[in-house]
Amino acid sequence: DKKKKKILLSEEIQAEDENEYEEEETKIRIIRKDGEKAPIPTETNEVLKDEIKKVDLEKTGEIPPKESIVSNQANLPNQWDEIINFKKPSLDLLDPTVNEDFKVAEDELKRNAEQLKEKLKLFDISIQDISVTPGPVVTLYEIVPEPGVKISRIVGLENDIALALAAKGIRIIAPIPGKSAIGVEIPNAEASLVNARSVVGKVLDSKYELPMAFGKTISGDVYVTDLSKMPHLLIAGSTGSGKSVGINMIVASLLYAKDPADVKLIMIDPKKIELSFYNKLRRHYLAVSPDLEEEIITTPQNAVLLLKSVEYEMERRYDKLAKAGVRNIVDYNIKIADKDKRPKDTDEIKHHHLPYLIVIIDELADLMITAGKEVEEPIARLAQLARAVGIHLVLATQRPSVNVITGVIKANFSSRIAYQVATKIDSRTILDMNGAEQLLGKGDMLFLPTGSPKPIRVQNAFISTDEVERLTNYIYSQQGYSSPYFLPSLYEKKNNTGGKFLADLDPMFEEAARVIVRHQQGSVSLLQRRLKLGYSRAARIVDQLEEAGIVGPNDGSKARSVIVESEEQLETILRNL
């Protein structure tokens, strides 16, 4: 038995050496809230090392006690105490701009104009004039009809015009906003590529708070808009329509336009591959939850906890704005920078420069299917309240159904992007109108700004995987902060409000929590059977479990979902209550 123990111990030490857990004579472990051991980040720094539990496994052979390295939020390193020497990326990291004159053959333009005129004449529709605006992928033909011609007659001929021109898909704008003309968008025989470098450069000249360069309009103009004015963005498009490239363009625009001190990205990627490039930015541009081990979130349970942590950050920011006597993040940061006007710190509130927080969810459908209301509720609350404190949401999905884009979400996201979708129903779900089903794919999109009656057609710029890697590698090579930007811990929130909460806890609360987590079923009837409780008392305990973050909200007659996955994680939560 002693020989076997020695062999096992030597194998364990060898495995630890191979995984780079050993530093000199002391083994270092990060203790997670569930008590398991997690690997050390490659850039572990002196500040973060103070938060790491050091255990000499060679001498004791013991497993470290189960505790969280973030049990005390005050001990976490703060980025606002640091100043870094950061140099913004150069446009040279992106592929060179190709010729983008969008020269459509003259005979093609004349032929389409003549065929369009002849087709309308067959249906007794006379027109005064046709003007042509060539674009990178489609050409806009502006038709001025004779007085007395009803617009509805031209709109009804959409399929007939497409047949006459042998076009892949046309789109009629009736009328063009601000003009007494009807627009007919006809795809070019050969599409032109919109290069990322020619578009991203425009954000450097922009005065917007959060500039985003999408691509080029039909007229060939670079389209740049401001996320802070939207203030949230909903994106939908089928597979292969260019949705993921569009998200990369949004992120690239922000990375080029803003310093790490001014903007932080919070990323949720259930597919685990779309946003993985940006993990390198953790010491520059990422904001993370200290309660979670993932920096780019990939599981629905962690997504729920992260969104709640962002909610708590929103509440804390509103407290700071109230103490400073300002109404938005811009005025707050101006006041903080002025030594004469800067409000005094208190034990509860420490004033510092607030960066914008951009929450990017790449596949909302996966979260809505698995977590439902637990995801929808914090998203809706953030969408309603977070604008003033500089928190903005970008949600993307390839399933624009009413089960994913619910009425609550849709009501709070007035700015929307639709890439190519399969049906008119999908188009109406995202835009409240037809049109997205006629798009051509590969970055062809309709952008509906807040307050606009008609969407704008934009050809999304293409940024390749290699370009994204070059950009993230450059930022990674720059001096970074000693740690990511930490969102507030949910355990800290419970501790701050824990006095009354603990006083009101049912004596059977902890036992009930263990039963719920062990069976992974948030059911009142389960507690009634297992603990022999009456209905009212069991229902009250389940409400307390929800307040403690152990189970999700009530969902009608269904059992509540269980947020905590393991009993080890539960014990950590119970110790922190």
Q: Is there a domain that residue 83 lies in?
A: no
Q: What is the Cα–Cα distance from 242 to 347, expressed in whole angstroms? A: 48
Q: What is the Cα–Cα distance from 250 to 413, expressed in whole angstroms? A: 17
For the ranges 13-17, 41-45, 216-220, the maximum mean pLDDT occurs at 216-220
Residue that wins the pLDDT comparison between 6 and 48: 6
pTM of the model: 0.73
Q: At what angle do helices 329-337 and 300-324 cross, to 10 degrees?
A: 60
Q: Is there a domain that residue 78 lies in?
A: no
Residue numbers of the domain that contains 52: 2-69
- Res. 41: pLDDT tops 50: no
Lowest mean pLDDT among 31-45, 132-146, 248-262, 545-559: 31-45
Q: How far apart are the first and last CA of the chain?
A: 42
Q: What is the Cα–Cα distance from 29 to 64, expressed in whole angstroms? A: 8
Q: Is there a domain that residue 541 lies in?
A: yes
The answer to whether residues 272 and 144 belong to one domain is: no
Q: Is there a domain that residue 456 lies in?
A: yes
Residues 149 and 181 sit within 8 Å (Cβ to Cβ): no
- Res. 451: pLDDT tops 90: no
Between the alpha carbon of residue 523 and those of residues 180, 505, 512, the distances in Å are: 62, 18, 10
The answer to whether residues 140 and 221 belong to one domain is: no
Check which CATH number belongs to the domain holding 518 and give it: 1.10.10.10
pLDDT digits over 100-113, tens only?
555 667 778 888 88
pLDDT of res. 149? 82
Q: Count other C-beta atoms under 10 Å from residue 419's C-beta.
A: 29
Q: Is there a domain that residue 140 lies in?
A: yes
Q: What is the mean pLDDT of residues 376-402?
A: 92
Q: What is the mean pLDDT of residues 455-468?
A: 94
Q: What is the Cα–Cα distance from 524 to 536, expressed in whole angstroms? A: 9
Going by pLDDT thresholds of 50, 70 and 90, the confidence category of residue 29 is very low
Residues 263 and 210 sit within 8 Å (Cβ to Cβ): yes
* Collapsed DSSP state (helix, strand, coil) of residue 391: strand
pLDDT of res. 2? 46
Indicate the DSSP class of residue 545.
Answer: H
Contacts for 173 with CB less than 8 Å, ≥ 6 apart: 182, 183, 184, 185, 454
Going by pLDDT thresholds of 50, 70 and 90, the confidence category of residue 493 is low
Domain boundary among 421, 453, 486: 486
The answer to whether residues 374 and 473 belong to one domain is: yes
Going by pLDDT thresholds of 50, 70 and 90, the confidence category of residue 43 is very low
231: cis peptide before it, omega within 30°? yes
The answer to whether residues 171 and 236 belong to one domain is: no
Between the alpha carbon of residue 31 and those of residues 38, 39, 65, 75, 490, the distances in Å are: 7, 10, 8, 15, 17
pLDDT of res. 170? 82
- Res. 425: pLDDT tops 70: yes
pLDDT of res. 151? 82
Domain boundary among 465, 486, 507: 486
Residue that wins the pLDDT comparison between 82 and 541: 541
Residues 504 and 519 sit within 8 Å (Cβ to Cβ): no
Domain boundary among 155, 187, 219: 187
* Collapsed DSSP state (helix, strand, coil) of residue 12: helix
Residue that wins the pLDDT comparison between 421 and 4: 421
The answer to whether residues 183 and 200 belong to one domain is: no
pLDDT of res. 169? 74
pLDDT of res. 6? 46
Q: What percentage of the chain reaches a pLDDT higher than 90?
A: 37
* Collapsed DSSP state (helix, strand, coil) of residue 156: coil
Q: Count other C-beta atoms under 10 Å from residue 278's C-beta.
A: 24
Q: What values do phi and psi take at 383, rounded to 5? A: -65, -35
* Collapsed DSSP state (helix, strand, coil) of residue 225: strand
Q: What is the Cα–Cα distance from 187 to 169, expressed in whole angstroms? A: 7
The answer to whether residues 452 and 503 belong to one domain is: no
**Nearest in space to 197 (alpha carbons), one of 240, 256, 265, 244:** 256
Q: What is the mean pLDDT of residues 10-16?
A: 48
Q: What is the Cα–Cα distance from 153 to 143, expressed in whole angstroms? A: 13
pLDDT of res. 269? 94
pLDDT of res. 286? 95
The answer to whether residues 267 and 201 belong to one domain is: yes
- Res. 177: pLDDT tops 90: no
Residue that wins the pLDDT comparison between 167 and 350: 350
Lowest mean pLDDT among 3-17, 85-99, 220-234, 303-317: 3-17
- Res. 457: pLDDT tops 70: yes
* Collapsed DSSP state (helix, strand, coil) of residue 456: strand
The answer to whether residues 172 and 214 belong to one domain is: no
The answer to whether residues 268 and 382 belong to one domain is: yes
- Res. 12: pLDDT tops 70: no
Q: What is the Cα–Cα distance from 438 to 457, expressed in whole angstroms? A: 11
Check which CATH number belongs to the domain holding 133 and give it: 3.30.980.40
The answer to whether residues 565 and 450 belong to one domain is: no
Going by pLDDT thresholds of 50, 70 and 90, the confidence category of residue 358 is very high
Q: Is there a domain that residue 160 lies in?
A: yes
pLDDT of res. 577? 67
Show the DSSP H helices in 325-363 as ranges. 329-337
pLDDT digits over 217-275, tens only?
988 889 999 999 999 999 999 988 999 999 999 999 999 999 999 999 999 999 888 89
* Collapsed DSSP state (helix, strand, coil) of residue 482: coil
Q: What is the Cα–Cα distance from 335 to 66, expressed in whole angstroms? A: 43
pLDDT of res. 42? 43
Lowest mean pLDDT among 140-154, 240-254, 402-416, 433-447: 140-154
Q: Which residue, chain included where needed, has tokens 């993040």?
A: 329
Between the alpha carbon of residue 400 and those of residues 234, 240, 569, the distances in Å are: 10, 15, 35
Going by pLDDT thresholds of 50, 70 and 90, the confidence category of residue 329 is very high
Q: Is there a domain that residue 146 lies in?
A: yes
Check which CATH number belongs to the domain holding 239 and give it: 3.40.50.300
The answer to whether residues 458 and 546 belong to one domain is: no
Residues 519 and 527 sit within 8 Å (Cβ to Cβ): no
Between the alpha carbon of residue 290 and those of residues 285, 300, 484, the distances in Å are: 16, 17, 10
pLDDT of res. 90? 93
Going by pLDDT thresholds of 50, 70 and 90, the confidence category of residue 357 is very high
Domain count, the chain: 4
The answer to whether residues 474 and 559 belong to one domain is: no
pLDDT digits over 287-323, tens only?
999 888 889 999 988 999 999 999 999 999 999 999 9
Across the chain, mean pLDDT equals 81
Contacts for 383 with CB less than 8 Å, ≥ 6 apart: 232, 393, 409, 412, 413
Residues 94 and 256 sit within 8 Å (Cβ to Cβ): no
Q: Is there a domain that residue 285 lies in?
A: yes
DSSP characters over 275-316: SGGGGGGTTTTBEE-TT-S-SSB-SHHHHHHHHHHHHHHHHH
pLDDT digits over 48-74, tens only?
334 333 333 333 333 333 334 344 444
- Give bridge partners of residue 558 from the DSSP assignment: 555
